[in-house]
Structure 1
Amino acid sequence: MSLLLWGILPYVMVIILIGGLIWRYRYDQFGWTTRSSQLYESRLLRIGSPLFHFGILVVVIGHIAGLVIPKSWTEALGVTEEMYHLAALGLGTIAGVATLVGVGILIYRRRTTGPVFMATTKNDKTMYVVLVAAIVAGLATTVLSVIGPHEDQTYRDTVSPWFRSLFIFQPDIQAMSEASFAFQLHTLIGMALFIIWPFTRLVHAFTAPIHYLFRPYIVYRSRDGRPTTARGIRRGWAPVGTRDREPDRTPRRSRRSSR
């Protein structure tokens, strides 16, 4: 079971993630979007969306720092384990709570706003369940690893070495097997989230508007040839570009001959 969970499943997850992204890009480019519902409701969205996105950004940065950077590197910089865990508790808890509150507001908005709820698919519901489970498990492991009973082994001695060993295709199964159940559960939920990622609206996280930096300028011209000023703006439903234009009274035959 340890070999299956910590030696095989991570690579299966990567294959499904990359393969799913390629499939989604080739066959569902028009669906590669968040399917924005701001038109239906914007008050709760203005609160929940920034909380969730900024919170999850800090969470991702914290995971990268905790899993990729070895403990020996931080100790060489003079950062003790107590200092590291205190910073992880402070920033991790704030970011985790912000992310959880943000996604809670978004779920409440989606459930109570009729048009938004009607546009919710089964994939969206599954995604929200797994996402909330991952956030709650992450918060629990962050808090328990600091204020809970201190053990000889922490995630920097178990999960982090296992995570780094995956990149050299020599998974340290023993290290992950020695991790606490809370860290193992959080890891499994995280892998489940990445497995379903390409098939949900979360796929937009892999989109970057790089072409926007290189597109040509958009030129705006006035239809009547005059510079647009505050006085020159026509209000209401006035026809555009037809003012002071006389109807063409030239006979049809003459117009044809002039061509």
Structure 2
Amino acid sequence: MVDQFLWVIFPYICIAVFVVGHILRYRTDKFHWTAKSSEFIEKKQLMVGSLLFHLGIIPVILGHISGLGIPKEWMRALGVNDHMYHLGAIWIGGFFGFVTLLGMFILTFRRFSIKAVRKLSSASDMVVNTLLLIIVFMGMYATIVTNAVNPAFDYRDTISVWFRDLFLLRPDPSYMMGVPVSFQIHILAAFLIFALWPFTRLVHVWSVPLSYVGRSYILYRRHKVN
């Protein structure tokens, strides 16, 4: 029952909360849909941490999409053998993972250590920062340490299959039975952040200001006093 809950029920709960929560948040609380920037309090650490995090997280997300979503047989058909894939996952993924981890550490340290920023932060801000730091750290630990200690483990034969089957509505928890704990913690924490997403400042990710590109210029006219 525990495995059934962790690898079937819990992921579906998180996905449902993620989707329904965003709809409800937008319909009932769209005016608080904001990143709540604290740049006016402290700028240097925010600039460095945010730059590193965003530079790292995009390649990391793309790597997760390819690793989890594309079967290894398809990769082989494209000419990417297992050895090439794992070298890329460890070295390229490890590099961008480290950049992401460093940026997240700076942002979390800033939020907890600077008194003015801490006072401006809500409880959800503290939870999100801490949870994101844990997710990135466990991902790096699994990539570098777990893969080195257990080189025979291939997540594309277990986690990736389970993940794809989850969205095909035929999840099999048995795939996750022998998965190392570091990977399991990383996955469960990631699903938890998806469940928290609609109720935190993370919603600002969807507010890309694309309309600004084609927006008309604001015209200013001098008012002449007669």
Number of the residue aligned with 1:148: 149
Task: Give distance in 2, aligned partners of 1:5 and 1:149.
Answer: 23
Q: CA RMSD in A?
A: 1.8
Task: Give distance in 2, aligned partners of 1:154 and 1:25.
Answer: 40
TM-score where L is the length of structure 2: 0.92
* Secondary structure at 2:12 match in 1: helix
User: 2:132 touches 2:193 (CA, 8 Å); kept in 1?
Assistant: yes
Number of the residue aligned with 1:173: 173
The letter of the residue matching 2:158 is: T
User: 1:165 touches 1:172 (CA, 8 Å); kept in 2?
Assistant: yes
Task: Give distance in 2, aligned partners of 1:219 and 1:59.
Answer: 38
Per-residue deviation, residues 62-102 of structure 1 (Å, max 9, x unmatched): 11010001100111122221211111111221111111111
User: 2:7 touches 2:176 (CA, 8 Å); kept in 1?
Assistant: yes
Is the helix fraction higher in 1 or 2?
Answer: 2
* Secondary structure at 2:34 match in 1: coil
Equivalent positions of 1:102-141 (< 5 A) are 102-141=103-142
Per-residue deviation, residues 166-187 of structure 1 (Å, max 9, x unmatched): 1210112221223222222211
Q: Which runs of 5+ in 1 are unaligned?
A: 224-239, 246-259
* Secondary structure at 1:178 match in 2: coil
User: 1:52 touches 1:98 (CA, 8 Å); kept in 2?
Assistant: yes
Per-residue deviation, residues 109-130 of structure 1 (Å, max 9, x unmatched): 2234333221111111111121
Equivalent positions of 1:36-115 (< 5 A) are 36-115=37-116
Number of the residue aligned with 1:226: none
Q: Which runs of 5+ in 2 are unaligned?
A: none
TM-score where L is the length of structure 1: 0.81
Number of the residue aligned with 1:196: 196
The letter of the residue matching 1:125 is: M
The letter of the residue matching 2:130 is: V
Equivalent positions of 1:199-238 (< 5 A) are 199-215=199-215, 217-223=216-222
1:131 CA drift (Å): 0.9
The letter of the residue matching 2:85 is: Y
Number of the residue aligned with 2:184: 184
1:219 CA drift (Å): 4.6
Task: Give distance in 2, aligned partners of 1:163 and 1:178.
Answer: 15
1:49 CA drift (Å): 0.8
Task: Give distance in 1, aligned partners of 2:109 and 2:184.
Answer: 29
